[in-house]
Amino acid sequence: MKDVINAKFVQEMIEVTSNMYRLGWDERNGGNVSYLLDENQVAEVLDVRQVIRTMKLDFDASKLAGRYFIATGSGKYFKNVASHPSECLGIFRIAKDGHALELLWGFENNSKPTSELPSHLMSHIARLSVDPENRIVMHCHATHLLAMTFTHSLAERDFTRTLWQMCTECLVVFPEGVSTIPWLVPGTSEIGEATAAKMKATRLVVWPFHGIYGSGKDMDETFGLIETAEKAAQIYTLTQAQGGVKQTISDTDLHNLAAAFHVTPRAGYLD
């Protein structure tokens, strides 16, 4: 078998968490990432029959029974993932009854999965119901998107339109728009359920005064999705500091852009 740490999916986790820390999106132990794996990916580097320990799961994940994941750990700093991957990351399988995790590798020194794991798994279930190719759920504290939640309308249409108008690429990258939820206590089933409900319509869900959730088919798509929205939020922040928007991309231009790139904007979001 290959060395686990050198497996492509482990290296992807190391790279993306390092980049998220570098960009200032995941201070201290803020943020978390989960990656749905195929059994053959895991079996190439691990004996999937060898369960290290079992951990209780506080909600019914039976829709993911038998599925494999790698995820970041609770209380783990993203800056340390590259140097201590077997403590900061864990590979596990959802037990047959959906109420436990079977740890196959990692989470050493009695570590455990991120406290946001229920939210992640709920979002995986939601995304898989509309996109069977979805593999990634990523949460971070993207700086300018977080700042926007204090100063901008949180109505989904308003928030989406502003992001679309800040960078030409935004409509192309997330034509379905951005969802928002009310402020809720993190790590709870309530915030997981609210996020998952929104994930059926959009791949980006803003948590006001906290951060953002993104999902996608692979690590590049998901990171790039958040990166694009964050860049638009940064442009919005700069334009507000410079005295406010004087001109922007018109709805006619956005319609033309959508037609040129063969995407369909969220219904009702453009005049």
Q: Is the backbone of residue 24 left (phi > 0), alpha (psi -120 to 50) or beta?
A: left
Same domain, 107 and 3: yes
- Catalytic residue numbers read 116
**Residue 141 labeled ligand binder:** yes
Same domain, 90 and 207: no
The predicted-structure confidence for 70-84, as pLDDT tens digits, reads as follows: 999 999 999 999 999
Same domain, 164 and 101: no
Same domain, 58 and 147: no
* Residue 68 in this model has a pLDDT that exceeds 60: yes
Residue 126 included in any domain: no
Number of structural domains in the chain: 2
Provide mean pLDDT across the span 129-156. 98
* Domain with 181 in it: 138-271
Same domain, 110 and 150: no
* pLDDT reported for residue 59: 87
How many Cβ atoms are within 10 Å of 57's Cβ, its own excluded? 20
Task: Scan for tokens 């709920």, then name that residue.
Answer: 122
**Residue 139 labeled ligand binder:** yes
Question: What is the domain-level CATH number for residue 256?
Answer: 3.40.225.10
Percent of the chain with pLDDT over 90: 97
- What CA–CA distance (Å, rounded) separates 39 from 67? 7
The predicted-structure confidence for 213-261, as pLDDT tens digits, reads as follows: 999 999 999 999 999 999 999 999 999 999 999 999 999 999 999 999 9
* pLDDT reported for residue 162: 98
Mean pLDDT of the chain: 96
DSSP string, 100-143: EEEEEEE-TTT--B-TTHHHHHHHHHHHHHH-TT--EEEEE--H
Same domain, 148 and 254: yes
Both tokens of 191, joined, read 């915030």
- What CA–CA distance (Å, rounded) separates 31 from 76? 9
* pLDDT reported for residue 2: 67
